[in-house]
């Protein structure tokens, strides 16, 4: 199986788990699963060319999620979905940011 296909399925699966768990589904070790899927997405899906726009999108998602949760005026379902998305996207963003730092450091040599 192609690595890109695995990355795409990890992304789709992560989004599905975020929503289903937010709707009240019970997923054992939910945040760990989302974090690992996010790491896989960051490693396999995002190329160097896409990294800047991906990191900007991750920052926007994280700010929207955190700001929405801080307002406290969300329903419990929306808050749960946002919490799940934060775990999922932050892991992907972490990997892409580290990859980008390594690329920049290699270019600086």
Q: Which residue has the higher pLDDT, 69 or 18?
A: 18
- Angle, helices 3-22 vs 76-108, to 10°: value is 150
Within a 13 Å sphere around the CA of 17, how many CA atoms are in the beta-carbon half?
24
When pLDDT is averaged across residues 14-24 and rounded to a whole number, the result is: 92
Q: What is the pLDDT of residues 24-77, one digit of tens each?
A: 878 889 989 999 999 999 999 888 888 999 999 999 988 888 887 777 777 888
**What share of the chain has pLDDT > 70, as a percent?**
99
Whether 90 has a pLDDT exceeding 90, the answer reads yes
21: pLDDT confidence band, cut at 50, 70 and 90?
A: very high
**pLDDT-derived band at 94, boundaries 50, 70, 90:** very high
User: Under a CB-based contact definition with an 8 Å cutoff, are residues 11 and 19 in contact?
Assistant: no
DSSP state, 26? -
**Mean residue pLDDT across the chain:** 89
Nearest to 93 by CA among 59, 68, 69, 64: 59
pLDDT of residue 38: 94
Residue 57's closest CA among 42, 43, 68, 69? 42
Distance CA 99, CA 85 (A): 21
């Amino acid at each position: 199986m192609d690595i890109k296909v695995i990355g795409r399925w990890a992304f789709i699966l992560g989004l599905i788990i975020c929503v289903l768990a937010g709707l009240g589904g019970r997923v054992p070790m939910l945040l760990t699963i989302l974090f690992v899927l996010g790491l896989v997405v960051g490693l396999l899906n995002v190329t160097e060319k896409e990294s800047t726009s991906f990191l900007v999108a991750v920052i926007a998602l994280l700010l929207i999620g955190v700001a929405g949760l801080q307002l406290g005026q969300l329903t419990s379902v929306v808050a749960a979905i946002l919490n799940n998305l934060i775990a999922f996207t932050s892991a992907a963003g972490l990997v892409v940011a580290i990859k980008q730092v390594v690329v920049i450091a290699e270019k600086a040599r």
